[in-house]
Amino acid sequence: MENMVESLALNKSEFGDSHPDVAACLSSIGDIYIKRGDYEEALEYHNDSLRIRKEALGENSLDVALSYLSLGDIHASEGKLNKAFEEYNETLSIRLRCQGENHPDIARTYHKMSQVCEQQDQLDKALEYSEKCHSIILNTLGGNHPGLADALTTMGNINCSRKDFEQALKFHTEALDIRKRNYGDTHPSIADSYHLMAVVYKLMGDLQLSLDYHRKSLNIRVQSLGGDHPDTASTFIGMADTIQTDGKTGGGH
């Protein structure tokens, strides 16, 4: 942070207060505040960056799109989903004009819009955006790209919410396969896929398979993240909930 503040002061001294390099420094400082969870400070810096970029570069600059994206991320983290969607849509509009319809950045924007719609229970719209994301990544980056696994995971989650469990498992399995090819068998993202599959199996009533996948997830998370990590704790909670459900239904594992 200290280095970024010094860089901001130097850029202001050399270029003035309304230069794109000043906007870039403001954006970087805003990103640091996002990571700290200080969203009010992050908003201030990213709004200042957006204002400078609009004045210096024009409304259709990709840097302006990036500022809108950051503001969307902040508002999504705050739970202000309508505002986040508006800002992601601004990002999308600029990127479509500048980059065309078949660019990975367009896919990433659709991914974020899909996640917002999913949180708002707008599942049809969420699935539409995630399918667009999936199609663009497949066409531009290929069938083995980690971004494709992320898109498939989102599609799996949406179908789970729609209670289309077979389709959810299909997407989660495809995501798992891609992640294994990219990262090996013990990466935290592998554990994430196993965890989501465990959730689907529980909702389907297959408690034994749910426990099996929770155990797979747990083994990886303990090894890669440690026993005190929140994701590891989430797995323990999922297993306990599944075991409790199994007891209530007369099972015993």
Query: Is there a domain that residue 70 lies in?
Result: yes
Residues above pLDDT 90, as percent of the chain: 89
Can you point out the beta strands (E) in 51-171?
Answer: none
Query: Is there a domain that residue 62 lies in?
Result: yes
How many separate domains does the chain show? 1
Q: Cβ(150)–Cβ(179) under 8 Å?
A: no
Separation CA 204–CA 92 (nearest Å): 37
**What local confidence, expressed as pLDDT, does residue 13 receive?**
80
Separation CA 236–CA 27 (nearest Å): 38
For the segment 150-168, the average pLDDT, to the nearest whole number, is 96
**Residue 248, pLDDT above cutoff 80:** no
Query: Is there a domain that residue 81 lies in?
Result: yes
**Residue 253, pLDDT above cutoff 70:** no
**What local confidence, expressed as pLDDT, does residue 250 receive?**
57
Q: Cβ(10)–Cβ(21) under 8 Å?
A: no
pLDDT in tens, 92-119: 999 999 999 999 999 999 999 999 999 9
Query: Is there a domain that residue 144 lies in?
Result: no
Query: Is there a domain that residue 28 lies in?
Result: yes
pLDDT band at 251 (very low <50, low <70, confident <90, very high): low
Confidence (pTM): 0.88
Q: What residue numbers bound the domain in which 30 lies?
A: 1-100
Query: Is there a domain that residue 228 lies in?
Result: no
Query: Is there a domain that residue 146 lies in?
Result: no
For the segment 59-83, the average pLDDT, to the nearest whole number, is 97
Query: Is there a domain that residue 45 lies in?
Result: yes
For the segment 13-23, the average pLDDT, to the nearest whole number, is 88
Q: What are phi and psi of 37, to 5 degrees?
A: 80, 15
CATH of the domain at 15: 1.25.40.10
